[in-house]
Structure formats: structure tokens, C-alpha cells
Amino acid sequence: MSDIKVTLAVEDRAENQDTLSISEIVPRIVAERKSFVDVTEESLLEEIANCVADSADDNVKDEVDEKPDESPFDQHRLKLLENVKAAYNESALALDFVSLLISSVRPTSASTSMSPHLKTHIPVGSLGADRVPAPQVANEPGVGIGWKIESLTNARDRLKTCASRLRTEAAKEKTYWAGVASIAATGEVLFKVRNSDTRGLGIKYGFGDAGSKYRDPGIGVLKRSATGTVDFEPKEEVQKKFVRVTIKSEEGEVTKSVSNVYTRDSKPPTDPTLAAIHETRHALFEEELFFEIAREARLLTSRKVTVADGAVTVDLGEGDMVVIEWVEVPEEPTTTFAPSLANLFVLALRLLLANAHRQQLEKMRTPPAPLQSKGGPNPNPPLPILRPLLAHILHKRLVSRARRSLYLLSTTHSGLSFEITTNNSTDKESSSLGRLMAAPVSNLKIKFSDKGNAKVVIPSPLQSHQSMFDVTMFKGTSQETVTSHTGFHELVELEEWVRWAADRSEPKKSN
């Protein structure tokens, strides 16, 4: 009944009469007639007009109209609509019949429930009824029972589908929570996420709790995959790159060593989710390391540190260069650690970042300084990562150059002797980084025969407020009487001065 198309189009019916059998046509006509009950004149006129319009561009529209709707939702909706329409037709017809029959007794009240079509075509009170003694028709229980069975079967099937779906869901949930528990057991920080777009379990894999102030806080979510396993999704995509250090000499022509180590697990966890979390965490560390180095490098432009082409280049002088890059992780990482210079260099950088994290954490724990209305210090200064390393390297080179030139002077000037001591004491007990945490300081003692001696303090070369060589001259052999105090900024100046002082203190030749 539901698939009967109710239409008034005559052509339509005529062309279908050839293809339909009698048993199909008869109910169809009946169904069409029924529709008269709720058809108004306007709708008829409209339908006829549509028929004409349709036939006019039949060739064009035919293909489009007959295409079945692809979407299953629309199909169901259409089917439901047809069923409701048929039911409405049936009930309207029954109502019309009952009303018409009543109208023979109560014409006024009955006509209120009659359809407009019936009212205009059939006069009220035109049906009669009489009571005819008829044998009791036995009630046929088969239909009711059959329907009940049908409904029960449907209900059972639906319950079964629901139950099986619930069961698979429960199994998936079990896998998911087992995975979550295994992740939580390794000490990862999990928390509840209640955003508008994401809901579920969050994981903090970043270094925020360790003192990092990097822009990416390292937050991800643990999602349930289609199969129930735990899927780790970082909130911000972290590139799988690492910091690589290349040490070059001869103006960058000769590569002396390249680092090949980066932060990773020596034994990655077997759980793929945990492995992904670890990998992302390490990648984040490397990213922050390079970011901080680049930030620091901008302050060191006066020290021949340049940031160009995605690499930080440090010119150490005398043709030696250190290139720090952020590059893709190789497919097959090296498994052994070679104690090359570059590897040690990059390890020191990592240790310094971790140390800077710790210092920041300690700073965060102390009560904050009072607010200043203006001109406070930079609230987010670059972390000391490159600077300590660079200070020591440059200092060492300077000291060795000074030693060399003083040695040359001592060969030509008799009575000139010198001694250089570099402060190697690791009195900063807090640090496992050794002397890296303390600024490099060297003391140079020069003796000019018996007439005088000088004390030269060579501080860290990155301190711009101090002169490179702080010279104090004393009289005699003791350090009691200061004769002069000066500072030099270049080794050449120191050399000149020493030569001059040595010349003066040398015993005068007779002629």
C-alpha cells in the first residue's frame, strides 16, 4: 500500500497500464480515488498545470526525476511519509463515511467533520442504515498473534543488535582503559580535558612542570581508536627533528666532526602509544633547545655568531667554526656513542638546557619580585646555553694566545717570567656541569726581574663591561705598592705594554 503513487496524471496511468497487471492496477485506482477525499480544487488545478509543464520539458526532466534518492535517510523519510499519507487517507475516508452516515440523523454536527470535497459533492443525509440480524462472526485471532510475533521478533533483533554493540563497545573500553592504566603506571601526568571541541583524557608530555616556559606546553590527548587501543595525539604537531652540531676548520672548508646523537630512548618502550609519547617528548626537547639557542644567538651577533639559513654559526676565529642546525632525524640512528668533539659539544648544550629548566623552576618557586611601574628587566631573558660554552672556548683560546706571545717575549727579554693560572675550581657544588657554570677567569703573573711585577686578570670574554686584560703593576717583588693600574682590550696592547715594561726594567746597557 505504501508504494502506491497517488497521482491524477492521466498520461502516467495510461502508460503504466501496459506494464502493470490487473491486480496492481485495481488497488492503484482505488488509492487514487481515495485521494479525492482530501483534494481541493486548487491542488487539482495546480497538479494539472504541473503535468503540462512536465510534459513540455519531459525529455530533459525525465532522467533527473526518476533517479532514486541515494541517501538512505531520505529514502526512509520518503517511505515514512508515504505510509503516514496512506494512513491519513484511510482515516479521513473512515471519518467521512461515519460523518455522512450520522448526517442523516444529526446533519449540523456531522457536517463539521466532513471533508470539503464530500460536502460539496454529496448532500447530507444521503446514506441510510438498517439493522440486519447477522450471525456472529468469529474473531480471527491469527492476525493479532501474527503481528505480536512479528513485533516480538523485531524487538528481539533490535535488542540483540544493541547487546552485541554494547559488548564490543565494552571490550573496546576495556582495552582503552587498560592502555591508559599502563601509561599512568609509568608516571605520566594525565588529566581531564573539558573543552568545547575535545573531551577525554589529556596527557602532559612537555617540560612545563620541569621549569620550561616554551610556547608549546606539550599537551596531548589520549583518544580511543576504532579498535579500542589508545591513540596519542599531540595538540600541536612536533617535528621529528634534532639539533646537530658540526665543527669545521679552515674557514668552514674542512669538516672536523659532526654530532650524531640526539635525545631518544636507548630502549624504546614496547607499547606503541608510550613509544609515541616518548618520541614526541624528545622531539619537543630538541625543538626547544634549538629555539633557545637561536634566541640567544641574536644577542651574540657582536661575537661573530650569525643566524642564517636555519642554522646558527659560531665563528671562533682562526678559521674555526661551529654550525648548529635543526635537521630531520635519520632513518637509522647510530647505536653507539662516539666521544667526538661535536657529540660532546651537543651533549653539553642539552645538559645546559636541562640545567636552565631547573634554574627557572627554582625561580618560579621563590616569591616574585615586587612589581615595577616601568623599565623592569626583560621578563623572559634568553637561557644561558650557548654563552657558558662559548665563554670558556673563547677564554681558553685567548689564554693560549697570550701564553704564546708572552713566551716569545720572554725569549728576547731576559728577566721576564710569567705564570698563568686558570681558575678551575668547581666550588659551585650545586652543579654537575663542573666549571661550565662558573665564568672563566685566568690570572697571569708577570715578573720583571726584581724591579716590578704585574698581575693580569683575564675575565670571561663575553663580559663587555670589563676590559679583556685588567692589569695592576706593583713595585718590587711583593704585591704591596701599586704603581699603576690599567686595562687593555686587545692582546696586541698587552704585548706592547709588556715589551715596554720589560725594556724599562732591563738593566741599562753601558753604552
Partner 1 sequence: MNQPIEPDHINVPTEALESLRLRLTQVSHSLNTLQAQLHQPTLPPWSSLHNQFNVLLTQLVSLSSTITHQSDILQQTVTFPLPAFPTATEAGLMATLLRKKILPEVEEWCEEVKQKALGVKIRTVDQYGEWAAETVEEAKQEYEWYGLMTREEVDNGVKPPVYVAPEEEAGEGAKLTIEQILQFTCAGKMPTVA
Binding site for partner 1 (CB under 8 A): 1, 23, 26-27, 30, 33-34, 36-37, 77, 80-81, 84-85, 87-88, 91-102, 104-106, 110, 113, 118, 121-123, 125-134, 136-137, 140-143, 145-150, 181, 184-187
Query: Residue 10 Cβ, how far from partner 1 at the closest point, in Å?
Result: 15
CA–CA separation, 392 and 435 (whole Å): 9
In the numeric block, which cell numbers belong to residue 378?
A: 626583560
Task: Output DSSP code: residue 61.
Answer: H
Place of cell 505510509: 83
Let me know: does 350 contact 289? Beta carbons within 8 Å. yes
Closer CB to partner 1, residue 64 or residue 134? 134
Closer CB to partner 1, residue 123 or residue 368? 123
Closer CB to partner 1, residue 91 or residue 334? 91
CA–CA separation, 41 and 49 (whole Å): 12
Separation of CA 99 from chain center: 70
Query: Residue 14 Cβ, how far from partner 1 at the closest point, in Å?
Result: 18
DSSP characters for 438-501?
Answer: SPP-EEEEEEETTTEEEEEEE--TT-TTS-SEEEEEEESSSSSSEEEEEEESSHHHHHHHHHHH
Closer CB to partner 1, residue 14 or residue 134? 134
User: Residues 113, 119, 123, 124: what is their CA dihedral angle, to the nearest 10 degrees?
Assistant: 10
Q: Is 372 exposed, middle or buried (0-12, 13-18, 19+ CB in 10 A)?
A: exposed
The 416-422 sheet, strands edge to edge = 416-422, 442-448, 452-458, 469-475, 482-488
DSSP characters for 244-299?
Answer: EEEEEETTTTEEEEE----S--SS--SSHHHHHHHHHHHHHHHHHHHHHHHHHHHH
Query: Residue 83 Cβ, how far from partner 1 at the closest point, in Å?
Result: 10
Closer CB to partner 1, residue 79 or residue 504? 79
DSSP characters for 289-340?
Answer: HHHHHHHHHHHTGGGTEEEETTEEEEEEETTEEEEEEEEEPPSS---S----
Closer CB to partner 1, residue 104 or residue 466? 104
Closer CB to partner 1, residue 35 or residue 453? 35
Query: Residue 187 Cβ, how far from partner 1 at the closest point, in Å?
Result: 5
CA–CA separation, 136 and 396 (whole Å): 121
Let me know: does 234 contact 329? Beta carbons within 8 Å. no
Query: Residue 197 Cβ, how far from partner 1 at the closest point, in Å?
Result: 23
Q: What's the N-to-C CA distance of the chain in angstroms? A: 140
Closer CB to partner 1, residue 56 or residue 155? 155
Query: Residue 437 Cβ, how far from partner 1 at the closest point, in Å?
Result: 32
CA–CA separation, 40 and 389 (whole Å): 94
Closer CB to partner 1, residue 181 or residue 338? 181
Closer CB to partner 1, residue 143 or residue 369? 143
Query: Residue 153 Cβ, how far from partner 1 at the closest point, in Å?
Result: 8
CA–CA separation, 258 and 45 (whole Å): 89
Closer CB to partner 1, residue 74 or residue 265? 74
Closer CB to partner 1, residue 38 or residue 315? 38
Query: Residue 106 Cβ, how far from partner 1 at the closest point, in Å?
Result: 7
Query: Residue 17 Cβ, how far from partner 1 at the closest point, in Å?
Result: 17
What phi, psi does 262 have (nearest 5°)? -150, 170
DSSP characters for 344-407?
Answer: HHHHHHHHHHHHHHHHHHHHHHSPPPPP-SS-PPPSSPPPSSHHHHHHHHHHHHHHHHHHHHHH
Let me know: does 256 contact 249? Beta carbons within 8 Å. yes
